[in-house]
Structure 1
Amino acid sequence: MAEKDLFQELKFRDPARARALAAALQHNVDAIGREVSVMHVCGSHEQAIARFGLRAVLPAGLNLIMGPGCPVCVTDGPEVDEAVALAMQGVRVCTYGDMLRLRGTAKSLADAHADGGKVEVVYSVAQAIELAQKSPGEEVVFFASGFETTAVATAAVALARPPPNFSILSVHKYVPAAMEIVAESKETNIEGYVAAGHAAIITGWEIFEPFARRTGAPVVVAGFEPLDILAALVKLTELMKEKRAEVANVYPRCVTKEGNRAAQASLWKVFRTTTGKWRGIAEVPGGNLDLTPAFAHVDARRRFAIDTRPVRDEGAEEEAKGCICGSIMLGLATPNDCALFGKTCVPESPVGACMVSSEGQCRIWHTYGGVPDLRKVG
């Protein structure tokens, strides 16, 4: 199969094309002639990689690592404390289901609910708006998490004149900052990046060009089907082989160079990037998305006096004893390196943040069996 055909008309289920992509990937890694490490920064990519056993067909010399691509996992303890404090103050806090069991320094929103706090699981910010409209005498706060994709939905609500009893507690994060923190780490040795296709639908792929030039690491935007990911790895290793620090888009059916300009305008009208602490990692410049002063009227941090003292533990460690989620999110370890993984830390009773969310690497590996070698099956 000609190389130019490998990236065209990708079918979602095509064993012959998968074998051709795997062969092309092996050829590129052999040509590089040494072991290389690449990183994707997306929980949805990790779900597909683990579910379909893609690491089993990767060349032995290629390490495919998940970085800090789970927004729930990097939400810091004191940020959760704010939501817990509001719930215990009588405010109805709405959030996505993955955030419910994420602990702050002492309690989670699930704990707050058990203690009589007002907590609601919603599937969208629009559902939180509906709750506010149905209860005009009650304050409703949306605990807003996620990267650019969900931040755009939050921005749209803020621009649409929400009810006066509705406000936003933003813990949204910004994807490019996740790549920056990995690239700047002296401990990591990542030579190329697979970027999340859904975020790039908003931002466009050109946003990664300055990063690629500055770091010397190529970036490839990928979709979420197995063939999408294999095609992205083929292109990424091709760029690495040719020492071209460029950006490539192998998700053209959804992603363009410029992205969604209208969505970007909404996003940056409502939000601004600020430095924020990412759980288990570090202070990340430009890593958080906070509401701009123009939207103070829907900013829960400005509308409420949030006293976290009754719900926080000043002496709490950043991570539970024995948990290595921070190292896992930086690509310095895998879940199998953690003594707690699959033993005391399981989805039913997660110890670390990476086991809480369905996009966390520990949760994904526990669900799909880690790094199965399908070549040994049967």
Structure 2
Amino acid sequence: MKYIDEFNDPELAKRLLDDIHATVTRPWAIMEVCGGQTHSIIRHGIDQLIPELVEMIHGPGCPVCVTPLELIDKALAIAARPEVIFCSFGDMLRVPGSHQDLFRIKSEGGDVRVVYSPLDALRVARDNPDRQVVFFGIGFETTAPPNAMTVYQAAQLNIPNFSMLVSHVRVPPAIEAIMSSPTCRVQAFLAAGHVCSVMGTSEYPGLVEKFSVPIVVTGFEPLDILEGIRRTVHQLEAGTAELDNAYLRAAPAAGNPAARRLLDDVFEITDRGWRGIGVIPGSGWRLSPKYRAFDAEYRFQVSDIDTEESTLCRSGEVLQGFIKPHQCAAFGTTCTPRNPLGATMVSNEGACAAYYLYRRLESTPRPDGRREVASIG
């Protein structure tokens, strides 16, 4: 734990904050595209410790939150089938579909199981050869390699009753879509370090050049994020736009070549819908033709899906950085973690969940006139 403690040092945090305050002279808007970074920012009050001129915009960095409603409804339809054992990580069970969630399917008799690894689902398939076992494979580039390895092993071990419902999304196309929007306010990005630890940084220089925005690869601990913000504001104030890797200890420029080769074998790039945003070209992965037999969408041919989003939920605006969670009228009232209207209130990486968990209902003045903030350290 000492290694982690080093990245929570309050004295070092103060020095970074002093540098940021001394550097900033005008308003800047920086987006983090990682739900883990969002939670760290809100938990430690980083957005309230940095200068008011610097706004942190919470982007679509939560894979659970951006999984399209149509795919959630397909998962529910598959999980309700009597011959299916449906396996998923726990944070997907409360994600609302059009009319219900996986917990409701389970309560009505569906065999829905929480697993901690896709390989757990593969073992379930080996132990139940007379049942169809489906794993709900979601996530950014970070979770794609273990899911790809599981499909690869299913093929190598000849486990025909295993399949995967795939909803993998890719960060660089999302950044391009955000910057291409006519309503975009983002002037710089903190890139997710764990994504770059897999994929490397080769896709970012083109985005920097095309949109003239700084992109700083950043980790997740408080000092990581403050250092990322510090490097970003230095670029913004200097009028430069470069790719800067502030997370070299875990994210080399080449990423993980072995993982990338596996991804190239098992998956192929496809257009993908993002919940609350819409279809982003080339932003997802699906199983390649070589492994199509393990594709649950292909195997079960789920159709006639009639999706219906909540009219009260503004999670799409939250995901695009148009509003903060507490600016939604449903936040904390009709929408809570126990009764969520949208996925951003469910996931451990959702912005609404972070604001609710750390009681960031609004910026409330203290008696001394200063804003109430969490502490680092």
What's the TM-score once normalised by structure 2's chain length?
0.91
Is 1:43–2:43 an aligned residue pair? Answer: no
Q: 1:108 aligns with which of 96, 101, 111?
A: 101
Q: Distance in 1 between matches of 2:5 and 2:189?
A: 21
Q: 1:213 aligns with which of 192, 209, 216?
A: 209
Deviation at 1:50, TM superposition (A): 1.2
Deviation at 1:170, TM superposition (A): 0.1
Please name the residue that 1:271 is paired with. 267
Please name the residue that 2:24 is paired with. 29
Q: CA RMSD in A?
A: 1.8
Q: Distance in 2 between matches of 1:38 and 1:129?
A: 41
What residue identity is the alignment partner of 2:135?
A: F
What residue identity is the alignment partner of 1:345?
A: C
Q: Distance in 2 between matches of 1:302 and 1:12?
A: 45
Q: Distance in 2 between matches of 1:321 and 1:193?
A: 30
Query: Any idea what the Cα deviations from partners look like across 1:182-223, whole Å, max 9, x if unmatched?
Result: 111111210100011111100112321111111110100111
Q: Distance in 2 between matches of 1:171 and 1:206?
A: 23
Query: Any idea what the Cα deviations from partners look like across 1:142-166, whole Å, max 9, x if unmatched?
Result: 1111111111110111222252211
Q: 1:359 aligns with which of 349, 352, 356?
A: 349
What residue identity is the alignment partner of 1:331?
A: G
Change (3 A) 1:98 1:216: same
What residue identity is the alignment partner of 1:265?
A: R
Contact 1:143 1:170 (8 Å CA) reproduced: yes
Contact 1:223 1:251 (8 Å CA) reproduced: yes
Q: Secondary structure at the match of 1:11?
A: helix
Please name the residue that 1:83 is paired with. 75
Structure 2 unpaired stretches of 5+ = none
Q: Distance in 2 between matches of 1:67 and 1:27?
A: 26
What residue identity is the alignment partner of 1:28?
A: T
Deviation at 1:376, TM superposition (A): 4.4
What residue identity is the alignment partner of 1:344?
A: T
Q: Secondary structure at the match of 1:171?
A: strand
Query: Any idea what the Cα deviations from partners look like across 1:86-121, whole Å, max 9, x if unmatched?
Result: 112221111111111112222222222122222111
Please name the residue that 1:341 is paired with. 331
Is 1:19–2:11 an aligned residue pair? Answer: no
Is 1:53–2:45 an aligned residue pair? Answer: yes
Contact 1:69 1:178 (8 Å CA) reproduced: no
Is 1:246–2:242 an aligned residue pair? Answer: yes
Q: Distance in 2 between matches of 1:261 and 1:209?
A: 19
Is 1:135–2:131 an aligned residue pair? Answer: no
Deviation at 1:372, TM superposition (A): 5.7
Query: Any idea what the Cα deviations from partners look like across 1:240-290, whole Å, max 9, x if unmatched?
Result: 122222111111110111111111111121112211221111211112211
Change (3 A) 1:294 1:182: same
Of 103-112 and 87-96, the range deviating more from structure 2: 103-112
Instruction: Report % sequence identity.
Output: 37
Q: 1:166 aligns with which of 157, 162, 171?
A: 162
Q: Distance in 1 between matches of 2:70 and 2:294?
A: 20
Q: Secondary structure at the match of 1:194?
A: strand
Of 127-136 and 223-232, the range deviating more from structure 2: 127-136
**5 Å matches for 1:131-210?**
131-160=124-153, 161-162=156-157, 163-210=159-206
Please name the residue that 2:92 is paired with. 99
Q: Distance in 1 between matches of 2:311 and 2:237?
A: 41
Contact 1:83 1:169 (8 Å CA) reproduced: yes
Deviation at 1:84, TM superposition (A): 1.1
Please name the residue that 2:228 is paired with. 232
Deviation at 1:306, TM superposition (A): 2.1
Deviation at 1:231, TM superposition (A): 0.2
Query: Any idea what the Cα deviations from partners look like across 1:31-65, whole Å, max 9, x if unmatched?
Result: xxx21101001010011111111112110100011
Structure 1 unpaired stretches of 5+ = 1-8
Q: Secondary structure at the match of 2:349?
A: coil
Please name the residue that 1:6 is paired with. none
Of 347-356 and 153-162, the range deviating more from structure 2: 153-162
**5 Å matches for 1:3-18?**
11-18=6-13
Q: Secondary structure at the match of 1:119?
A: strand
Q: 2:253 aligns with which of 251, 257, 261?
A: 257
Q: Distance in 2 between matches of 1:133 and 1:20?
A: 55
What residue identity is the alignment partner of 2:11?
A: A
